Amino acid sequence: MEHLELASADRELFQVYSGARRPRILLAASGSVAAIKFANLCHCFSEWAEVKAVATKASLHFIDIASLPNDVTFYTDEDEWSTWKNIGDSVLHIELRRWADIMVIAPLSANTLGKIAGGLCDNLLTCIVRAWDYSKPFFVAPAMNTLMWNNPFTERHLMTIDDLGISLIPPVTKRLACGDNGNGAMAEPSLIFSTDADARHLYNKYKHKRMVSKLDAFTWMGSVGAARRLGLHLEELWMRAERLFSYMSRLRVARKSSSLSVREPSRLL
């Protein structure tokens, strides 16, 4: 019966959030000295999720690859090209985007923040971000010198990624690697982990409810056209709920971790 069949995207959505497998977390590091904590972050997440890791060329100066969990697959820019040989071969940044349920960039350097805000995609990490499905949770934990954090460009870039739906885990005030005291240090891995885990739990609730609503719609309406119209209406309602949740989550974390103000979105609902 055609009107009872779910589209492939809906079937995939049901499979992903039905609890049949562990969450899939894509962790990424950019070029900040805080990347020395990246292995610790990978260990935190690998205890409850499938983890794949991506690192920029600059971040490799700080990451101890040997200390990464054995079950974490680690990718660099070179892998983008070594895995592709001919037309028709899979493209790594697209496959990673499809694989992940949630993405976390920690640390997020000032340089990579600027690239994301400008839509640039000149390495594996920024190509993933450019292709990302922003209905999925996406967190960033910036790390930079206080002078860079307070720069007007940083505020503009944060406003831009906020509009995309990227959630901010603000930096903290402490003694920085350069010796200065001030705001700009990456949040501790434990805070990043707990924030993302809470968001994942709530996000799954939203997705599960949306999936059930769609299943009921297909069964009850008995009409492909009517079911699609109802599905689109439900989709819009859940998108509004997700935007509201994302804003409240960022506001809660910002109040805990930083004096940085979180701009209220102009079109939340």
Q: Which residues contact 7 (CB under 8 A, 6 or more apart)?
A: none
Q: Is 179 exposed, middle or buried (0-12, 13-18, 19+ CB in 10 A)?
A: exposed
CB atoms within 10 A of CB 217: 17
Query: Is 93 marked active-site?
Result: yes
- Between CA 126 and CA 159, with CA 57 as vertex, the angle to 5 degrees is 35
- Is residue 24 helix, strand or coil? strand
Catalytic residue among 3, 61, 178, 201: 178
Report the C-alpha dihedral over residues 246, 126, 38, 109, rounded to 10 degrees.
-80
CA atoms of 229 and 206, how far apart (whole Å): 20
Amino acid found at 258:
S
Identify the helix (H) or strand (E) that includes residue 27: strand 24-29
Catalytic residue among 93, 127, 157, 208: 93
Query: Is 178 marked active-site?
Result: yes
Enumerate the H helices of the chain as residue ranges. 8-17, 38-46, 77-82, 92-99, 110-118, 124-131, 146-149, 152-164, 189-221, 224-257
- List, by residue number, the catalytic residues: 93, 178
